[in-house]
Structure 1
Amino acid sequence: MIIDITAQGGFGGITAAAMKKTIDVDQQPRQMQQELCDAFEPRELQRLTRTPCPDCADRLTYRITVTEGQENPQVFTLREDQLPPEMLDLIDQM
Protein backbone atom coordinates (compact mmCIF):
# COMPACT_ATOMS: atom_id res chain seq x y z
CA MET A 1 0.00 0.00 0.00
CA ILE A 2 1.24 3.47 -0.92
CA ILE A 3 -0.18 6.47 0.94
CA ASP A 4 0.20 9.98 -0.49
CA ILE A 5 -0.88 12.91 1.65
CA THR A 6 -1.00 16.56 0.77
CA ALA A 7 -2.26 19.25 3.08
CA GLN A 8 -2.99 22.89 2.49
CA GLY A 9 -5.00 25.71 3.86
CA GLY A 10 -5.22 26.83 7.41
CA PHE A 11 -5.83 30.24 8.85
CA GLY A 12 -7.11 32.56 6.16
CA GLY A 13 -6.03 30.12 3.44
CA ILE A 14 -2.34 30.77 4.17
CA THR A 15 -0.36 27.96 2.59
CA ALA A 16 2.40 28.07 5.20
CA ALA A 17 1.26 24.66 6.39
CA ALA A 18 1.34 23.09 2.90
CA MET A 19 2.98 19.67 2.88
CA LYS A 20 3.34 16.52 0.82
CA LYS A 21 4.24 13.09 2.15
CA THR A 22 4.44 9.66 0.56
CA ILE A 23 4.96 6.42 2.41
CA ASP A 24 5.30 2.85 1.19
CA VAL A 25 3.65 0.89 3.97
CA ASP A 26 5.45 -2.34 3.00
CA GLN A 27 8.80 -0.67 3.77
CA GLN A 28 7.86 0.17 7.37
CA PRO A 29 8.44 -1.86 10.55
CA ARG A 30 5.70 -4.44 11.20
CA GLN A 31 4.02 -2.44 14.03
CA MET A 32 3.92 0.74 11.91
CA GLN A 33 2.55 -1.25 8.94
CA GLN A 34 -0.38 -2.42 11.00
CA GLU A 35 -1.11 1.06 12.38
CA LEU A 36 -0.98 2.63 8.91
CA CYS A 37 -3.15 -0.09 7.33
CA ASP A 38 -5.76 0.26 10.07
CA ALA A 39 -5.84 4.06 10.01
CA PHE A 40 -5.73 4.56 6.23
CA GLU A 41 -7.93 1.66 5.21
CA PRO A 42 -10.18 3.07 2.45
CA ARG A 43 -13.44 2.11 4.20
CA GLU A 44 -12.28 3.97 7.31
CA LEU A 45 -11.31 7.04 5.27
CA GLN A 46 -14.69 6.94 3.52
CA ARG A 47 -16.41 6.82 6.91
CA LEU A 48 -14.41 9.82 8.10
CA THR A 49 -15.44 11.86 5.04
CA ARG A 50 -19.03 11.61 6.27
CA THR A 51 -18.16 13.03 9.71
CA PRO A 52 -19.79 16.46 10.15
CA CYS A 53 -17.31 19.29 10.36
CA PRO A 54 -19.17 22.45 11.38
CA ASP A 55 -16.06 24.35 12.56
CA CYS A 56 -13.77 23.52 9.65
CA ALA A 57 -13.20 27.06 8.45
CA ASP A 58 -9.52 27.96 8.61
CA ARG A 59 -8.49 24.33 9.09
CA LEU A 60 -6.09 22.27 7.04
CA THR A 61 -7.51 20.21 4.20
CA TYR A 62 -5.90 16.81 3.65
CA ARG A 63 -6.00 14.99 0.33
CA ILE A 64 -5.18 11.35 1.00
CA THR A 65 -4.53 8.95 -1.88
CA VAL A 66 -4.33 5.23 -1.13
CA THR A 67 -2.96 2.85 -3.77
CA GLU A 68 -3.17 -0.87 -3.08
CA GLY A 69 -1.39 -3.21 -5.47
CA GLN A 70 -2.72 -2.93 -9.01
CA GLU A 71 -5.98 -1.24 -7.97
CA ASN A 72 -6.81 2.28 -9.03
CA PRO A 73 -5.84 4.88 -6.44
CA GLN A 74 -8.61 5.97 -4.09
CA VAL A 75 -8.65 9.65 -3.18
CA PHE A 76 -10.22 11.16 -0.06
CA THR A 77 -10.48 14.80 0.96
CA LEU A 78 -10.78 15.43 4.68
CA ARG A 79 -10.66 18.46 6.93
CA GLU A 80 -8.36 18.55 9.92
CA ASP A 81 -11.21 18.18 12.42
CA GLN A 82 -12.48 15.05 10.66
CA LEU A 83 -9.25 13.18 11.41
CA PRO A 84 -8.83 11.51 14.80
CA PRO A 85 -5.79 12.62 16.84
CA GLU A 86 -4.05 9.27 16.43
CA MET A 87 -4.24 9.60 12.63
CA LEU A 88 -2.79 13.11 12.81
CA ASP A 89 0.03 11.67 14.94
CA LEU A 90 0.70 9.02 12.28
CA ILE A 91 0.82 11.70 9.59
CA ASP A 92 3.37 13.61 11.68
CA GLN A 93 5.48 10.44 11.97
CA MET A 94 5.48 9.85 8.21
Structure 2
Amino acid sequence: MIIEIDAEGGFGGIAAAALHKRVDVDAQAEPMRQELNNAFGTRELQRLAAQDCSDCADRMTYRITVSVEGRRSRSFTLREGQIPPEMLDLIDRM
Protein backbone atom coordinates (compact mmCIF):
# COMPACT_ATOMS: atom_id res chain seq x y z
CA MET A 1 0.00 0.00 0.00
CA ILE A 2 1.23 3.48 -0.90
CA ILE A 3 0.01 6.52 1.05
CA GLU A 4 0.43 9.98 -0.44
CA ILE A 5 -0.40 13.06 1.57
CA ASP A 6 -0.55 16.57 0.22
CA ALA A 7 -1.41 19.29 2.68
CA GLU A 8 -1.71 23.01 2.54
CA GLY A 9 -3.22 25.65 4.68
CA GLY A 10 -3.13 29.23 5.60
CA PHE A 11 -4.80 32.21 7.10
CA GLY A 12 -7.08 34.34 4.97
CA GLY A 13 -5.88 32.73 1.75
CA ILE A 14 -2.18 33.17 2.51
CA ALA A 15 -0.42 29.83 2.32
CA ALA A 16 1.17 29.06 5.68
CA ALA A 17 2.47 25.59 4.94
CA ALA A 18 2.72 22.97 2.22
CA LEU A 19 3.50 19.31 2.63
CA HIS A 20 3.96 16.31 0.37
CA LYS A 21 4.74 12.85 1.69
CA ARG A 22 4.76 9.47 -0.01
CA VAL A 23 5.19 6.30 2.01
CA ASP A 24 5.39 2.66 0.93
CA VAL A 25 3.68 0.99 3.88
CA ASP A 26 5.07 -2.45 3.02
CA ALA A 27 8.64 -1.12 3.34
CA GLN A 28 8.09 0.03 6.95
CA ALA A 29 9.00 -1.86 10.12
CA GLU A 30 6.12 -3.90 11.54
CA PRO A 31 4.97 -1.50 14.30
CA MET A 32 4.82 1.44 11.87
CA ARG A 33 3.23 -0.68 9.15
CA GLN A 34 0.43 -1.69 11.53
CA GLU A 35 -0.15 1.91 12.65
CA LEU A 36 -0.34 3.10 9.04
CA ASN A 37 -2.72 0.32 8.00
CA ASN A 38 -5.04 1.12 10.92
CA ALA A 39 -4.98 4.90 10.50
CA PHE A 40 -5.20 5.06 6.71
CA GLY A 41 -7.60 2.24 5.97
CA THR A 42 -10.43 3.17 3.61
CA ARG A 43 -13.16 2.76 6.22
CA GLU A 44 -11.33 4.94 8.74
CA LEU A 45 -10.67 7.68 6.17
CA GLN A 46 -14.33 7.56 5.06
CA ARG A 47 -15.44 7.88 8.68
CA LEU A 48 -13.18 10.87 9.30
CA ALA A 49 -14.22 12.60 6.06
CA ALA A 50 -17.90 12.27 7.02
CA GLN A 51 -17.42 14.15 10.30
CA ASP A 52 -18.70 17.70 10.57
CA CYS A 53 -15.98 20.33 10.49
CA SER A 54 -17.73 23.60 11.21
CA ASP A 55 -14.67 25.16 12.88
CA CYS A 56 -12.16 24.35 10.14
CA ALA A 57 -11.80 27.74 8.50
CA ASP A 58 -8.17 28.74 7.86
CA ARG A 59 -6.80 25.36 8.95
CA MET A 60 -4.75 22.79 7.12
CA THR A 61 -6.40 20.70 4.41
CA TYR A 62 -5.04 17.21 3.75
CA ARG A 63 -5.56 15.24 0.55
CA ILE A 64 -4.79 11.62 1.33
CA THR A 65 -4.50 9.09 -1.49
CA VAL A 66 -4.23 5.39 -0.74
CA SER A 67 -3.11 3.02 -3.50
CA VAL A 68 -3.17 -0.73 -3.16
CA GLU A 69 -1.62 -2.84 -5.92
CA GLY A 70 -4.29 -4.28 -8.18
CA ARG A 71 -6.98 -1.89 -6.91
CA ARG A 72 -8.14 1.57 -7.76
CA SER A 73 -6.62 4.43 -5.74
CA ARG A 74 -8.90 6.22 -3.28
CA SER A 75 -8.49 9.88 -2.32
CA PHE A 76 -9.96 11.69 0.66
CA THR A 77 -9.92 15.36 1.57
CA LEU A 78 -9.80 16.00 5.30
CA ARG A 79 -9.58 19.23 7.23
CA GLU A 80 -7.28 19.46 10.22
CA GLY A 81 -10.23 19.45 12.63
CA GLN A 82 -11.39 16.08 11.27
CA ILE A 83 -8.09 14.34 11.96
CA PRO A 84 -7.42 13.01 15.47
CA PRO A 85 -4.22 14.25 17.17
CA GLU A 86 -2.61 10.80 17.12
CA MET A 87 -3.07 10.62 13.34
CA LEU A 88 -1.51 14.08 12.93
CA ASP A 89 1.45 12.82 15.00
CA LEU A 90 1.69 9.78 12.74
CA ILE A 91 1.73 12.01 9.66
CA ASP A 92 4.60 13.98 11.23
CA ARG A 93 6.53 10.74 11.83
CA MET A 94 6.06 9.47 8.26
TM-score (normalised: structure 1): 0.96
* Counterpart code for 1:77: T
Q: Counterpart amino acid of 2:63?
A: R
Q: Number of residue pairs matched?
A: 94
1:65 deviation in Å?
A: 0.0
- The one-letter amino acid paired with 1:26 is D
Question: TM-score with structure 2 length normalisation?
Answer: 0.96
Moved over 4 A (4+): none
Verify: 1:6 aligned to 2:3, yes or no: no
Which residue does 1:72 correspond to in 2? Answer: 72
> Shift in Å at residue 39 of structure 1?
0.2
Write 1 or 2 for the structure with the bigger share of helix: 1
State whether structure 2 residue 58 is matched by structure 1 residue 45: no
Deviation per CA, 1:28-64, whole angstroms, max 9, x where unpaired? Answer: 0000000000000011000101111111000000000
Q: Give the structure with the higher percent strand.
A: 2
RMSD over aligned Cα atoms? 0.8
Unmatched 5+ stretches in structure 1: none
The answer to whether structure 1 residue 19 and structure 2 residue 16 are counterparts is no
Q: Percent identity?
A: 63
